Amino acid sequence: MRMPPRRPLRPAEYFIEENSLAARLRFVHRHPGRTTSAALKEIERGLDEGIRALARQPESRGGPKPLTFRKNLLVNLADIWTVTLGRQVSTGPKSDFVSFCESVVEAIGWDIEGVFSAIPDALECYRLNLLGKRQR
């Protein structure tokens, strides 16, 4: 003989959504202040989280943003200057390479202010990355 099935440990499911729309509307009509306050607190919480997330973003504390595109352009110009043109890079204020870089930056429509001072950093990046990969 077979044993009778056990009673389930969990009670029958209750679908909370049944008739809950009408109940929610009644609650809002009876307690408009509490409802509005709760909704505004939820919005405030979301805005606070957004502000905190913005504060955690890189460069959120102000100051100039790094000119990454300009640096990458200068690295590639150094590569063109040495590999394609076969010329030696020099960083003097009146060097041909500096004039070449300033001409290209100006032709693109970018401001040439600060290009001269950005060239040494770009050349260091060029020597560490591109030249090192070619010599391997």
Over residues 59-114, the pLDDT tens digits come to 666 666 668 888 888 998 988 888 888 888 887 878 888 888 889 989 988 888 88
- On whether the CB atoms of residues 129 and 75 are closer than 8 A, the answer is yes
Spell out the domain ranges in the chain: 20-55, 68-135
Please give the model's pTM, rounded to 2 decimal places.
0.51
φ/ψ region of 62 (left if φ > 0, alpha if ψ in -120 to 50, else beta) reads left
pLDDT tens by residue, 1-50: 667 666 666 656 655 666 678 888 888 899 999 999 999 999 999 999 99
